[in-house]
């Protein structure tokens, strides 16, 4: 099994770019291991807690983009073309370090004027028990997921920041995307060029202070190429829900985008009348605030699969999942 590891040759620091050189190449259907790292060489933890890749990456990677995320990738998917949909099966996600970090800073988070200086808090992680210890000793269960998962944006966008989620995915920060879920991303460049990072040990909807428990992660992925459907925005499927997502500087508009995307799926693929889909969304679909701190705010709409499976026309995204 191929293992895509972070190194100075296989990371993108703070950017997505359709012209980026692939760090690895995989076939559709191939299962591969994947690792991302978070932290700094001078983190105030025992030296053996710091991921061994961190020091070399900090010393050797000088080509950095406008964002702060350290991503592993991009991974080229053989045969992927613009207009395809990349199916990202997130087979498993596991903690990859013994600690995580929660930071607050001036002009950041939902209260940008409430913090006068950067404060970086170390949070010990018990990987065996799946627990994090927060001040003043609170035990919080971990539920790891990659906050950033995305493909290369359209070439005309050039090199873009990792901070904002957009139609290529990116800094989605959707806590539902744990192991056992599937993310669908529209492809904008040959090879798709998938990158991931911004590992989170745990996060609340909103991620209100700008960070969750930021940590290193390891996971297993499998890619599929879908030519039977078209998408303009990412969607996801969990064991229990179909999820559509909206991104916009306005939460109101982000909510409308997420709901409009859900109605479009139910109408185009589920055979529902728009009016009936609109009513169903009001009765059985839940809206969640994904995050409010990434410039482009996020809202995701969650429709129960137990209801959707009653449709006469099965939704193609749910078939086989």
**pLDDT in single tens digits along all 321 residues of the chain:** 899 999 999 999 999 999 999 999 999 999 999 999 999 999 999 999 999 999 999 999 999 999 999 999 999 999 999 999 999 999 999 999 999 999 999 999 999 999 999 999 999 999 999 999 999 999 999 999 999 999 999 999 999 999 999 999 999 999 999 999 999 999 999 999 999 999 999 999 999 999 999 999 999 999 999 999 999 999 999 999 999 999 999 999 999 999 999 999 999 999 999 999 999 999 999 999 999 999 999 999 999 999 999 998 889 989 877
Q: Which single residue is written with the structure tokens 């991974």? A: 75
| Domains in the chain with CATH codes | 3-80+93-168+190-222 (2.60.120.580), 240-308 (3.10.28.20)
Query: Element (H or E) spanning 54, and its range?
Result: helix 53-60
The span from the CA of 278 to the CA of 320, in Å, is 26
Which H, E and C letters describe 220-287, residue by residue? EEEEEEECCCCCCCCEEECCCEEEEEEEECCHHHHHHHHHHHHHHHHHHCCCCCHHHHHHHHHHHCEE
């Amino acid at each position: 099994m191929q293992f895509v590891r972070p190194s100075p040759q296989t990371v993108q620091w703070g950017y997505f770019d359709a012209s980026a050189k692939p760090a690895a190449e995989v076939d559709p259907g191939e299962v591969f291991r994947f690792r991302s790292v978070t932290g700094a060489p001078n983190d105030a933890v025992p030296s053996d807690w710091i991921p061994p890749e961190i020091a070399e990456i900090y010393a050797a990677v000088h080509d950095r983009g406008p964002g702060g995320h350290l991503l592993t990738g991009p991974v080229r998917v053989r045969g992927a073309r613009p207009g395809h949909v990349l199916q990202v099966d997130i087979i498993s996600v596991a903690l990859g370090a013994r600690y995580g970090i929660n930071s607050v800073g001036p002009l950041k988070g939902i209260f940008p004027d409430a913090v006068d200086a950067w404060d970086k808090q170390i949070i010990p992680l018990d990987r065996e028990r799946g627990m994090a210890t927060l001040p003043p000793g609170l035990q919080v269960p971990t539920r790891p997921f990659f906050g950033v998962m995305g493909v290369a944006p359209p070439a005309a966008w050039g090199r873009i920041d990792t901070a904002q989620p957009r139609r290529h995915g990116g800094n989605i920060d959707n806590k539902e995307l744990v192991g056992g879920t599937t993310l669908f991303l529209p492809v904008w460049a040959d090879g798709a060029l998938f990158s991931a990072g911004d590992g989170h040990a745990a996060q609340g909807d909103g991620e209100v202070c700008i960070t969750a428990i930021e940590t290193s992660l390891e996971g297993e992925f499998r890619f599929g190429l879908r030519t039977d459907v078209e998408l303009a925005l990412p969607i996801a499927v969990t064991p229990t829900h179909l999820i559509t997502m909206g991104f916009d500087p306005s939460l109101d508009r982000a909510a409308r985008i997420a709901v409009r995307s859900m109605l479009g799926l139910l109408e185009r693929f589920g055979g529902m009348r728009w009016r009936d889909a609109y009513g169903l969304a009001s009765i059985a679909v839940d809206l969640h605030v994904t995050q409010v701190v990434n410039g482009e705010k996020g809202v995701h709409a969650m429709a129960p699969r137990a209801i959707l499976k009653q449709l006469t026309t099965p939704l193609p995204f749910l078939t086989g999942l």
